[in-house]
Amino acid sequence: MSELLIEARGLGKAYPKVHRSGDRLRALGRLLFRGEDGDRISVLRDVDLEVRRGESLGLIGANGAGKSTLLKLITGVLTPSSGSVRVRGKVGALLELGAGFHPEYSGRDNIAMAAALHGLDGAELRRRLPEIIAFADIGDYIDEPVKHYSSGMVVRLGFAVIASLKPDLLVTDEVLAVGDESFQKKCVRWMQDYLDGGGTLILVSHSMYHVQKLCRHACWLRDGEVAMTGDVFDVTQAYLAWHERKSAPQETSPNPDRRNVEFSVLDMSLDGQTGEQPVLLGQGEPLEVRCRIRSREDRMPSVAIGVTRADGTPVYGVSTDMDGHHPQRLAAGEYACRLVFDALPLLPGSYTVRVHPLDPEGVRVFDTMERTLTVRGATREFGLVRLAHRWDTLPGEARHE
């Protein structure tokens, strides 16, 4: 097993409540004279985390979830309010924009200061300086004060310095969100080479594409606590599904009182499961949907079954009426349907499967019952479904080995 570089146990951070100008002074007085912290706001709680040499971890979560606070605790910028964190090895950190740079000094002077702080002597700096300047690629601005730099230029300079140092552990906070596309590509290529060479990465990003591309594991923070850790695809897909459910419109059943409607859903199942927990399905695996419909007057209903993404985006829908299929009569006033997808082509994510009984003419919807489906898989394809495809060369073109 590889060396443990980061070990956090019960890690937490809290700040005194400061709403008015005098609150800060009163909080300091309580701490100095009474040894009391007073009322505090907890921004991070009970975080357990391990990162080993050669691993790549994506840190994800909504704004305010505690991601930046966790990075600052790991890099020693902040001290914990509870728990502990141990870091081994040389750390290279890109946190807040411009952190560590003196705005009045030129880019070249800031490179020299950063190099000295990381233990580089004059000879080593002179050897690496052309490489750093070339990576930053900010032209004549290298001799201008940093206060004249754009946000993208500051990130270029900071990343160039870290890239030249090749630390044991690289910690980045939204680096890929700043700067132009060409520099983002350069950063991604460097990170891939860094990881291929045995480097260790903690990446904070709102881009699930980059997290999935660069990281093998992920940690999802929600409201200051760890919501999920594990394989990067499992965690990011759960996180995206949570966002989709948050943005989904709140719908109510057309008929909450099922006893008095002409057609109602008695029960439904996905792959035989009837509980409220999401049914887990591998990408491309078969899915069976079963339902029982109550018919008050024992008329044969039409049954529609639809699939939507968790945010309500329609994916697919079909009905017995469309396909010329008749529900099976089980008893007086009770009918059943079984719909089978032999190889469900949905991309990984969270979906809702809904059953709707309609009148025999397929005009009016009387009821709705739904179950949640989570499709899992390791893919970075876009969209809702996977379309069968292949890559090929144009006729007559030479193939490159």
pLDDT for the residue numbered 312: 80
75, amino acid identity: T
Outline where DSSP puts E strands in 257-311: 263-270, 279-282, 287-295, 302-309
- Where exactly are the structural domains of the chain? 4-245, 258-376
The size of the chain, in residues, is 401
pLDDT tens string 309-344: 887 888 999 999 889 899 999 999 999 999 999 999
pLDDT tens string 135-185: 888 888 999 998 898 888 888 888 888 888 888 899 988 777 666 778 888
CATH number (2.70.50.60, 1.10.10.10, 2.60.120.380, 3.30.465.10) of 258-376 reads 2.70.50.60
Q: Are 166 and 190 in contact (CB under 8 A)?
A: no
Taking alpha carbons only, the member of 286, 280, 264, 303 closest to residue 351 is 280
- Give the model's confidence band at 37: pLDDT under 50 very low, under 70 low, under 90 confident, else very high: low
Q: What is the second-level CATH architecture of the domain 4-245?
A: 3-Layer(aba) Sandwich (3.40)
Cα–Cα distances in angstroms (integers) from residue 51 to residues 54, 62, 170, 345, in the given order = 9, 22, 12, 35
The stretch 266-275 carries a mean pLDDT of 90
The alpha-helical segments, DSSP class H, found in 197-349 are 208-214, 232-247, 320-323
The residues near 394 (Cβ < 8 Å, ≥ 6 apart) are none
Outline where DSSP puts E strands in 53-184: 56-60, 82-87, 91-94, 169-173
Q: Tell me, what DSSP letter sits at residue 299?
A: P
Q: Give one DSSP letter per residue of 238-265, joined into a string.
A: HHHHHHHHHHS-----S-S-GGGSSEEE
Q: What's the rounded Cα separation, in Å, for the pair 106 and 124?
A: 20
By the 10 Å C-beta count (0-12 exposed, 13-18 middle, 19+ buried), 306 is classed as middle
Cα atoms in the 13 Å half-sphere on the side-chain side of 243: 13
pLDDT tens string 74-98: 988 899 999 999 999 888 888 766 6
